[in-house]
Amino acid sequence: MAAAGERLILAFDFGTRRIGVAVGNELIHSARELEPLPARDGIPDWAQVTRLVDEWRPDLFVVGLPINMDGSESEMSTRARKFGKRLYGRYGKPCELVDERGSTREAKAIAREQGHRGNYREEGIDGLAAVLILEGWFAGREGLPGGRHSHT
């Protein structure tokens, strides 16, 4: 495993139809989106996840935790936690959850700025949301606001 600060991270924006994915390098705080994973009721094709893990060999997983604006948790929060636990159970890599409040709204705004017409179901913003989640995690590692996270 790489030393802290040199880790490769796979980040996920959990969803019931698609799971956004991003890969990042902790040392240079870079993150880029990957192809989203299709999901059936929140369950990905684990063979596709395994291919991602084999290709990128991450040291850590980060999963966005969808928390309500008032700070309370929802059914989606519970499901995202469960997804994080399954990642840890299947691949034995640590998994951290990061508060993703506002990441989808921010991803939609960025997509609009880039000329997308708002049909997010077809165009998808899942990967961009995963990038924002990972960037929030990076910010939290520096002690900056926006990086509230916890371990699974």
Please give the residue that has the higher pLDDT: either 17 or 118: 17
Least confident of 31-35, 83-87, 113-117, 133-137: 113-117
Q: Would 1 be classed as within a structural domain?
A: no
- For the segment 63-80, what is each residue's pLDDT rounded down to a tens digit? 999 888 888 888 999 999
Residue 99: per-residue pLDDT: 87
Q: Which whole number is the average pLDDT over 81-92?
A: 97
Only one residue has tokens 């519970």, namely 78
List, in sequence order, the alpha helices (H) in 37-116: 46-56, 75-91, 103-113
Query: Exposed (0-12), middle (13-18) or buried (19+): which is 151, by Cβ within 10 Å?
Result: exposed
Structure tokens at 54: 């084999």
What is the reported pTM?
Answer: 0.81
CATH of the domain at 96: 3.30.420.140
Structure tokens at 29: 């705080």
- For the segment 29-50, what is each residue's pLDDT rounded down to a tens digit? 999 999 999 999 999 999 999 9
Q: Would 3 be classed as within a structural domain?
A: no
Which of 3, 2, 1, 11 shows the shortest CA–CA distance to 96? 11
Virtual torsion, Cα 96, 99, 102, 107, nearest 10 deg: 0
Q: Would 2 be classed as within a structural domain?
A: no
pLDDT greater than 70 at residue 150: no
**90 CB-side CA count, 13 A:** 18
| Range(s) of the domain holding residue 44 | 8-151
Domain count along the chain: 1
